[in-house]
Amino acid sequence: MTVVRLEGVRKVYRMGEVEFEALKGVSLEIAQGEMVALMGPSGSGKTTLMQIIGLLDRPTAGTYALAGQDVTALSENQRAEVRNRQIGFVFQAFHLLPRLSVLENVEVPLMYAGVPAPQRRERAVEVLRRVGLSGKERHLPSQLSGGQKQRVAVARALTLRPAVLLADEPTGNLDSHTAAEVMRLFQELNDEGTAVVVVTHEADIAEHTGRIVRIRDGFIESDGPNPHRRRPVGGVA
């Protein structure tokens, strides 16, 4: 099944009189089981594209279908609803709430979704186990390593079982060993059927994916299978 289908997507940013075309006609399809690296120079449009795929922003022109539903013309509220249900986000800077425990951080999306407290807790404990963080539920984010913080962010992104996991430079703040560990976690989730899109500048991070899309000046420059995909060895520690 096709999870993401973009056709002829353009994005024009307007700043007063000045217009800038950040995406110049991008067509892209991502299937359910895929794990894709999005690469390209700084300013090429990667984050812009991720924000459109993640329904945080809308294209100026072109169409977008997410999991078979045309989401191009949805209202702000409808987009928020679809976003909460279908999209998981992981960011470079983790974006955890510092005063909430690990468990509470993971519960936040479930709270917004109106899931009752007991089920919330149960699901949060389950996804934390899934990312290898059992035993850390009561910690504060400040009491975790960088890799552990990012795994909390991944757990939080997974609580509502999204169709697509979007990660914008998720390993940018991590050392190479920890970065590889987070990528292995993404691979495992991908093996379980979640589509994953990872923005990265680093070739060795992209090597963990099955497909590499390169973007330059708002265009897709190349798009193809990654012949060097590195498969996980063992589980996540």
15 binds ligand ATP (CB under 6 A): yes
What does the CA dihedral 88, 93, 99, 105 come to, rounded to 10 degrees?
A: 20
44 binds ligand ATP (CB under 6 A): yes
| CA 122/CA 145 separation, integer angstroms | 24
Pick the closer one to ligand ATP by CB: 139 or 216. 216
51 binds Mg ion (CB under 5 A): no
| CB neighbour class for 26 (10 Å; exposed up to 12, middle 13-18, buried from 19) | buried
Pick the closer one to Mg ion by CB: 103 or 196. 196
Q: CA angle, corner 30, sides to 91 and 175, nearest 5?
A: 30
Pick the closer one to Mg ion by CB: 164 or 167. 167
Amino acid (1-letter code) at residue 78: Q
Candidate residues 2, 47, 63, 226; the one interacting with Mg ion per rule CB under 5 A:
47
- N-to-C CA span, the chain: 32
| CA 162/CA 191 separation, integer angstroms | 14
86 binds ligand ATP (CB under 6 A): no
Pick the closer one to ligand ATP by CB: 107 or 169. 169
What token pair was written down for 165? 């996991």
**Part in contact with ligand ATP (CB under 6 A); list of ranges 41-49, 127-135, 158-166, 174-182:** 41-49
**Part in contact with ligand ATP (CB under 6 A); list of ranges 12-20, 146-154, 186-194, 228-236:** 12-20
Pick the closer one to ligand ATP by CB: 24 or 121. 24
**Part in contact with Mg ion (CB under 5 A); list of ranges 47-55, 58-66, 88-96, 125-133:** 47-55
| Max intra-chain CA distance, the chain | 55
46 binds ligand ATP (CB under 6 A): yes
93 binds ligand ATP (CB under 6 A): no
112 binds ligand ATP (CB under 6 A): no
What does the CA dihedral 182, 183, 189, 191 come to, rounded to 10 degrees?
A: -150
Q: Give the count of residues interacting with ligand ATP (CB under 6 A).
A: 12
Instruction: Judge contact between 222 and 192, C-beta under 8 A.
Output: no
99 Cβ partners below 8 Å, 6+ apart?
140
| CA 53/CA 34 separation, integer angstroms | 15
54 binds ligand ATP (CB under 6 A): no
The footprint of Mg ion (CB under 5 A) covers 46-47
The footprint of ligand ATP (CB under 6 A) covers 13, 15, 20, 22, 40, 42-48
